[in-house]
Amino acid sequence: MTPEKVVKNFARCSDWEERYLYLIELGEQLPNFPQEQMTEQFLLPGCHSRVWLVQRYQDDQLNIRATSDAALVKGLLKLVLIAYDGKSKNQVCDFDIEAWFKQLELSSHLSPSRTQGLEAMVRAITAFAVHND
């Protein structure tokens, strides 16, 4: 799945209710997250829902595993993984995720707490990408 494909799929939805359902479906595509990593160590601060995030570089590519206790947040995590997982440091830094989110009209259709959580996810991943390679 690519960011462009997500934009096309969003455009096919007739309204935001369908887009929310699509986000939930995306969240169901997240790989299984190991139960033993659902600890405070991997809990992401700044999110209303509980979000666990594990990141590492492997062969110069960012490898991200993540999950949440909320279905919609899992969908938002999947969006972030579509943008960043498997990418190099330069690709992570060069991708304009804010423009992509604007194209998807996320900020105008998410609650302020969901928007803040999404921003916290992006900050955590981009900070890791910049400082660990």
Q: What's residue 47's pLDDT? A: 79
Q: What's residue 107's pLDDT? A: 82
In Å, the largest CA–CA distance within the chain is: 41
Compute the distance between CA of residue 90 and CA of residue 126 in angstroms, rounded to an integer. Answer: 10
Active-site residue flag, 13? no
Q: Walk me through the domains of the chain, giving residue ranges and CATH numbers.
A: 3-131 (3.90.1010.10)
Tens of pLDDT, residues 33-85: 999 999 999 999 877 899 999 999 999 999 999 999 999 999 999 999 999 99
Which of the following is catalytic: 47, 51, 80, 97? 47
Which pTM was predicted? 0.93
If one counts every other C-beta atom within 10 angstroms of the C-beta of residue 38, the result is 14
Residues linked to residue 43 through DSSP beta bridges, in sequence order: 52
Q: How confident is the model at residue 133 (pLDDT cuts 50, 70, 90)?
A: low
In this predicted structure, the answer to whether residue 22 has a pLDDT above a threshold of 70 is yes
